[in-house]
Every structure is written in C-alpha cells, then in structure tokens.
Structure 1
Amino acid sequence: MMSCQQNFAHHLPTLRFPVSTTVVFIRRHQPPISASSLHHSQETSDKILRTHNAKSTSLLFLIDKASPKGENQNGYEYDEISKLLELSMARKRTPQFPGSIYVQSPADVDVNSSLPAIFNGENDDYDFEVIMRAVEIRREVTLEIFKEAMRKGKFGITYSTNLASKLFPEFIDYVMIQAASIKQLPEFANSSFNVRAKACLESSNVVPLIRWLKHNGLSYPQIGKLICSSRGNIESIRSTAEWLKSIHVNGRFIGVALLRAGKNILERNTEELDEIVWYLEKNGVRREWMGYVVSRCPELLSFSMEELKNRTNFYFDMGMNEKDFGTMVFDFPKVLGFYSFEEMNQKVAYLKEFGLGNEDVGRLLAFRPQLMGCSIEERWKPLVKYLYYLGISRDGMRRILTVKPMVFCFDLESNIVQKVQFFRDIGVQQKGIASMLVKFPSLLTYSLYKKIRPVVIFLLTKAGVSQTDIGKVIGLGPELLGCSISKKLEPNVKYFLSLGIDLKTLGEMIADFPMLLRYNIDILRPKYRYLRRTMVRPLNDLIEFPRFFSYSLEERIIPRHKILVENRVNFKLRYMLSCTDENFHQRVEAAVQRRQMFESGISNNIESDSPTDDSSEDETEDEFSTLAD
C-alpha cells in the first residue's frame, strides 16, 4: 500500500490534476487506508461508475496495479500508461477529428512525432478495427458535410438524404480522399478536415450539377448512379448531357442514355460522338431520328467506329439499302447495338431454315426487326413445334413468317395457345384451324378478349349465326375477326335486315358466305338496286346466292345480264355468275338451242334452263367449297 501511495505522489506534479478532480478528493479526504480496505478497493476498481473524470480515475487504478518497471495484469507497460495518463490529463490538446487513430500531445511539432499505439504486435486485429472505425467516422462526417451543402443549395432534407444514400460510399469516399490529399497544399496545411471537405465539394460543382440534372427529369437514383460512375469527373456528365440534348434526346431519357451507354461514355469527347452520329446519318438514319435511336439504344455510343461499321455491313450484306437500314434502325434501334455478332448470325441462320434466301431474310428484318430480339430456344423452337402439331407444313410456316412475322415474337402459352383453344371450343375443326392460320396469319395478332371474343359474341347474338354454324363461319371467314363491330359489322347487319331479311335467314346467309359482312354498304347498295329494279329478280334469289355481292357490277353482272336479255334466256344467279366467260357463253348457246327447239315444236322433252353441271365455277367458288369441306 505504501508503494502505491509513493508512486501516486511521485506522479502527482507531472499529471497536473485539476483541483476539482476525483483524485484530489480521494487524496485529501480519505482516512489512512488499511490492508483490508485496499483489498476491497482492488476488488471494486473495475466497478467504478462513469462520472466526471471517471476515465482518469480508472487509469489511476491501472497505475496502482502496475509495478514501477514491470508489466501489469492487463499487459500494459508502466511507461506507456504513464504517457497515456499524461495526455489524458493535459489541459490543452491539439484539435483532432473524431476517430483519430493517434493522439497528438501539445509538445508535438507535427503528426510524425505522435505517440505510437499502446498495443504491441499481437493486437493487429484490434489495430485494423480501430483504423476501419476511424474511416467509417470520417465517412459519416463527409456525408453530413454533403447533406449540409445540399441544404444550402435549397434542396429538401428528404431529397438530400435519399440522394446521399445513393452516393454512399463511392462518391463520399472520393470526397474524403480528395480532402485528405489537399492537406499537402500550403493553403490547406493548417485547415481541418471539415474545411477541406467543403472546399472539395464546392470546387466539384456537384450541387449545381445535381440541380441541373434534376431539372432535366432525372430521378435521384439515376443522379446518384451517374455521379458514382463518373469517378470524380463531374464536369464530363454535364458536357455529355449537353451533347445528348443537341441531338434531340428528351430530358427524361438523358439519364437512361448516360447510364446504359457504359462507363466509357463519360470518357469520350464530343468529336468521337459526332463521328458516330455522322456515320449513322450517312447510312440512312435521319438526323431527326437520332435522338429517338440513341434514347432506345445508347449502347451505340460506346462502340468504336470499326465495330459500328462491321455491324452496319452485317445488314447491308443481306441486300438492304440505306432506306431500309434507316427505317429498320428507327423501328427497333436495338437491332444494331444491343446484340452480339454471335446472336445475330445464329438468328439469321435459323430463319434461313424455313427456305428463305439471304435477301429474303434481309427484307424480313427490314420489315420486322423485332425478330432479332427473340430467343431461338425460348421463343422460336417451341412455336415451330406447336405449329407442326397443328398440321402446318414448313411452307405454311414460311407464309406465316413472311406475311405476319410478328407472330414469331409472341409468347406461345399466353397468346397463341389460348386463341387456338378458343377456336376449338367454338367448333372449328383441327384442319380448319391450320387453314385459318395459314390463310390469315394476322388472326394471331388480335387480342382474344378485346377483339376475337366480342366479334364471335356479336355474330351469335346480333347477326343470327347459330352455335352449330359459328365454327364454320370463323373457319371460312377468319377475316371477320379483324372487322370493327361498330364501323363494319353492325352497319352491315342493319342494312340486310332493312331489306326484309329476317335475322335467322341472315345467319344462314352468313354461314353460306361469311364474307358478306365485310363489304362496304356503298358497294352493296348499287348491286342490290340493279338486281331488284333492272334484273327484276326476287329477294329469294339473293338469299339463295348471297355470293352475288362478291362479283363486280360493271365487269360481270351487267354484261352477262345483257347477254341473257338479248338471247331471251334466264339463269339462276349461281349459274349466271359463278363460271368463266367461255362456260357462260356455252351455257347461253345451249339454252338458246333448247328455246328454239321448243318454239319449233321439234322436241317435247324440254330440258331445264338451269345447267346441271356446276363444275365450271370460278376460283372463288372452289376456294370456299374446299374450306367448307
């Protein structure tokens, strides 16, 4: 106990304790310490409450446990503890930022003379944790400095906090490193870290840039990601964005273009970017289209001129001209800059397997470049397999591909399968479905619930088609599914009902000739007027042969009617119109001979004036008869 008191008294002049410290209180007011009380104080030394100067008192107990030249039970050298205690009790200290690793005493000239860590080499892990904690504290300080600069720039607290979260830690670390590096400059040699960090933020003009980007429609996640990708070159963002505006990229697409174009876009000068635009314009992409093209495929701006030329020649080698190439790039900009050469070659080779030549594929891609965005394994092969299952040959698939290539861009399960199942449900046979798809591929591009089903319901409820005939109607005339109900189907139905045809009879006429509802009323009206007034035919003739409206009034109906009148013979509409001119004249001659024989009384067996051989019907009749079978 006496040794402890002597050690304490020995260090008292050096420590220079304040008068109000707990140590002075203990020194002046405690009674003489006995052995038992010393033992009790040693047991309770680790339980001292955190009161004023408690840290200094705790260090005092550590000293109390140490020997003058030895090492205490916690592994601290006596001299190290003395120095630490001296620094902790100093009245005046050099200002340090929060989280400083080394403490600088008043006697130190510079940081190089700071005291070393009080832990030996066995505590490297602890030293690393201390260093990382110091870095984290400086990050937090830099983050608060950035938020303060944003608030001074008239940004709201919420926006500043959200943006700061996107800039952490990339841009915050950049500011922190810059603030540390400029300490070597004479003007910042004696400045605190906070002053240097504020100076770095002001010199970077990041706050005005954020306001400018926000004004141009960029969201704070886009702004944050863009600033982080600039690697500290903040001014390159503004210059590149100004260039994008010069080629008419809309404000809300500027951020998307800058982010998707790649990190090297901020490293390229405007001369390189102008060269890319000039080359595209030279090959058919109009200047007024350039903003739209770059907005949808900013990857073009990251290409070298050599790669851009190779991609352009890939399409010109398939027979495209500048006009086709320009419209193709405008319709689907990704066709030029989004896919790799390997993907592009694989898709062209697969399209050629349908029997298409190199130039045919070129025309197909010029018309529907979205094909280049479809996956062979996930989109095309399952579709081809399904069409083959329906009974469509390779030639039929080639027709679907060339007439409506968009079919090969649709999802099989959610689009095509549902429509085919619907056709089966309404009574269309398997062969009829295959014929429908090959004859009218556009059918697969219509919406099932917005287009196909409403037309079928209209035919069943408003046009008189029975449920037994609806499958036949759709199978023979799938084009009806593409007609507008309000502008085409409903006016036609009202017109036929106005002629005196009842709804059930109209449904039977539609089942016989579904295309009846597709003609314009302006074409139907003069034909009906000629039939009733000039030809003086009854309405039943029209009901029996609704295909009458499919023939030309000037080129077939009127000329053949005049021939019948001149020869004083009469045919049913079917035999009058549904044959070739040669067969029609042969029928007329045969009818004239029979009439002459009847008038002369040579034969009492009068043959019917209607020919029994109807094998000479025209191509239209053969087509619909085949589909009906």
Structure 2
Amino acid sequence: MLRLRSCFLAQLLSSPVASPGPPLQRLVSVAAPAVSANPSSFAVEEYLVSTCGLTRPQAIKASPKLSHLKSPTNPDAVLAFLAGLGLSGADVAALVAKDPKFLCARVERTLARNVDELTGLGLSRSQIARLISLTSGARRFRCRSIVSRLHYYLPLFGSSENLLRALNRNFYLISADIERTVKPKVALLHECGLGACDIVKLCRSAPRMLSTSLERTRAMVECAQGLGLPRGSAMFKHVLDAVSFISEDKIAAKVDYLKKTFRWSDAEVGMALSRSPMMLRRSKDALRSKSEFLISEVGLEPEYIAHRPAMLNYSLDGRLRPRYYVVKFLRANGLLDRDRDYYSVFCFVEKVFVRRYVCPYKEAAPHLAQDYAAACSGELPANFKFTRAKNRQ
C-alpha cells in the first residue's frame, strides 16, 4: 500500500499543474482515497524517502520530528496541496528536508486559508509557491500570522515582487514583531527623510535593517550624521546605506585610510564622503590602486578627486585606464585641439564616450576602436604603450 501511495503522489508532484489550478480541497479529496493504510504500519522514514524524495540521511535526520504521526493522511494532504500550487518534486523534497513539520500543517484550516487570503492581497499562486520555497518560508507559512504580516509589508514595499526579493534576502522580516520592532524603525527612517521607495532600496542592500534592534538602527543613523550629513539631506540615505552594519571602529579606520591614500585633509575626506559615501564599502586594495593611477599616472590633484569622488566608483581596468589611454593617444598625436576634463571623460556613458572620442577619428586613427576595445578587455595595445612611454619622457 505504501508503494502504491508513493507512486500516486510522486505522479501528482511531477505532473504539470494548469494555472490557476484546481481547488485545494479537491486535490486533497483526490489524494485521500488512494492512501488508506494501517495506521500502526506507517513508517515515517520510508515515507520521507519513497514519497517525499528525501535522501536516506535527510530522512533519518527528519523522521524524529515526525515520530508522533500514526498515519500518512495529513502528509498526503499536504503534498497534494503543494502539488496544487505547482511545486515540483525537487521543491517539495527541499521544503520537507528543511521543515519536516510542514507535513503536519492543517491544510484546510491553515494552508488553504493562507493561500486564499494572500491571493486576495494580490499575490499570484506562483508567487505564493515562491514564498513557501524561501528559506524559513515553509515554517512561517504554516502559521496564520503570515497573512497579517504580509498585509503590512505589501504597501510598504510597493509590490509583491519587491517584497519577495526582500524576503529572499531576509525572511526574518516575517517573524519580526511588526508593532514593537518594524514600525518604530520605519518611523525613524521616515524622520531621516527616507520615503517608502528609499526604505525598499535600503532593505535590498541592507536586508536586516528592519529586523535588527531599534537601538542598532539609531546607532547607524548617528554614525551617518557623524560623517557630516544631516537627516533629510538628499544623500543621507546613501550614507546610511554605506555605514549600515559596519562598526564605528572600522568606519574610522577606513576614513583614516582614505585620508592617507588620497592625501586628503579632514575637510576633503568629508567632502568626498558626502558625495560618494559608498567609498566606505570599497576594498583597500581597490582604493589604493585607483589612487596610484589617478594621482601618480593621470596627474590629478587630491583636491580635484575629493570634489569628484564618483570617479572612484568606476572600474579601473574596465573604464578608467582604457579611456585615459584613448585621450592620451589622441593628444600625443595632435588629434585633440585642447585638454579635456578627465572627470567628464570618465563619467560619460559608453555610447557618448565612443561617439566623442573614438568615432570622429576613424580615418586619422583607424585602429583606435580596436585598440580601445582591447584595452577594455585587459590588453594594452602597442600604440597605447608607446603613448605612455612617450609621455613619461
């Protein structure tokens, strides 16, 4: 009988499910007649392997959590429910291995009601399936409280897709206390001038922002203010993002490193961070190599860089060096009638840079486009080598 039940449910889990799918109660009733068994003969471990698709080690680990089950009736109904949502056999195996007690959930009383109410909130059945498949999602989904929590989060995040992306990175949002943990932090972020869209973006890069303690969030706000940007300023959200979940000691050490590496004064490092706070997230090696290139090779002044720190966000080998080589080549060969501002050169989008500095010189420098492409891929064409050597003389 167990083998017959296993074959039936395996076929159910592997068969395609038409959208929007049959009613869950119907799926449960279809599965039930085929699974009558002697309760005393129910072997949990074998059921997990043959019916749910777990490996033997996974089943051995999971079976103690299901030792109270005397019959496969409820697990069969749960598997039918999951098949009705479109979860594949592999999805179900991963879910059960992660949360064996999901097989004990009440289908009609909890799971089906959650699906109905979440559908009413605007989630599609495929999105609900993704929600269940998320890390810890199954454990939360077998509780009725998930509906009220998503009812709060959906307007905050603006769309179900935004919410699912946030939950994919931090599913503890679902378990966080809305009234005592989440809402006070949302209010604090609003006080700092962040709107709903800003909070969504912040949660993408710092997914623990809403689930951490209020005291820690306040500390991050104070740290951001300590870098010289007041609450409500346009860049404050970027500074808050940059300092999130970094200790004050590490931030102070990075500020000192920036001052030393770029030869900046206190005022200049403050200026640079106010315009490009994500420098605090850059590695020391990346900052050092860009400093050596911009100051020692290109010849830019530290003050110039401090007022234009966006240059430090670009790839050194994929953008800064190749564009510098093109401009130097054109100047060395008399093809540019005046000096160019390197900040503009580096900041142009690719199409504009090529249109201004490559396309006009197809006849005078027929290999320039090819050489530039090679430089962007990490090579250093002979023309550019000669130009660098010539300009150092």
Shared fold per TM-score greater than 0.5: yes
* Structure 1: 5+ residue stretches without partners: 1-266, 593-629
| Residue 317 of structure 2, aligned match among 540, 549, 554 | 554
Cα deviations across residues 153-174 of structure 1 (Å, max 9, x unaligned)? Answer: xxxxxxxxxxxxxxxxxxxxxx
Letter in 1 for 2:46: W
The aligned counterpart of 1:372 is 141
TM-score by length of 2: 0.67
- Quick one: distance in 1 between partners of 2:242 and 2:354? 35
| Residue 507 of structure 1, aligned match among 263, 266, 270 | 270
- Quick one: distance in 1 between partners of 2:249 and 2:139? 31
8 Å contact 2:184–2:214 — kept in the other structure? no
| Residue 579 of structure 1, aligned match among 339, 348, 373 | 348
Shift of 1:535: 0.9
Shift of 1:277: 1.2
8 Å contact 1:348–1:361 — kept in the other structure? yes
Q: Which has more radius of gyration?
A: 1
The aligned counterpart of 1:484 is 246
TM-score by length of 1: 0.44
- Quick one: distance in 2 between partners of 1:327 and 1:487? 41
| Residue 442 of structure 1, aligned match among 196, 200, 207 | 207
Cα deviations across residues 119-160 of structure 1 (Å, max 9, x unaligned)? Answer: xxxxxxxxxxxxxxxxxxxxxxxxxxxxxxxxxxxxxxxxxx
The aligned counterpart of 2:260 is 498
The aligned counterpart of 1:285 is 54
The secondary structure found in structure 2 opposite 1:442 is: coil
> 2:223 matched to 1:454?
no
Equivalent residue pairs, number: 314
The secondary structure found in structure 2 opposite 1:409 is: coil
The aligned counterpart of 1:566 is 329
Cα deviations across residues 605-629 of structure 1 (Å, max 9, x unaligned)? Answer: xxxxxxxxxxxxxxxxxxxxxxxxx
Seq. identity, %: 18
| Residue 418 of structure 1, aligned match among 155, 164, 184 | 184
Pairing of 1:216-615 with structure 2 (within 5 A): 272-273=41-42, 275-282=43-50, 283-290=52-59, 292-295=61-64, 297-298=65-66, 301-353=68-120, 355-367=122-134, 368-376=137-145, 380-381=147-148, 384-385=151-152, 388=155, 392-393=158-159, 396-397=162-163, 399-401=165-167, 404-425=170-191, 427-431=192-196, 433-436=198-201, 439-440=204-205, 442-449=207-214, 451-461=216-226, 465-468=227-230, 472-476=234-238, 478-485=240-247, 489-499=251-261, 500-568=263-331, 569=336, 570-588=339-357
* Structure 2: 5+ residue stretches without partners: 1-37, 362-393
Shift of 1:407: 2.1
Shift of 1:292: 4.7
Shift of 1:346: 1.8
Shift of 1:412: 0.8
CA RMSD between the two structures: 3.5
Sort the Cα spacing of 1:420 and 1:573 in 2 relative to 1 into closer, same or farther, 3 A: farther
Shift of 1:413: 0.7
- Quick one: distance in 1 between partners of 2:92 and 2:153? 32
Shift of 1:558: 0.8
8 Å contact 1:284–1:326 — kept in the other structure? yes
8 Å contact 1:446–1:452 — kept in the other structure? no
8 Å contact 2:86–2:129 — kept in the other structure? yes
- Quick one: distance in 2 between partners of 1:510 and 1:349? 49
8 Å contact 1:446–1:482 — kept in the other structure? no
Q: Which one scores higher on RCO, CA 8 angstroms, separation ≥ 6? A: 2
8 Å contact 2:131–2:164 — kept in the other structure? no
- Quick one: distance in 1 between partners of 2:57 and 2:351? 58
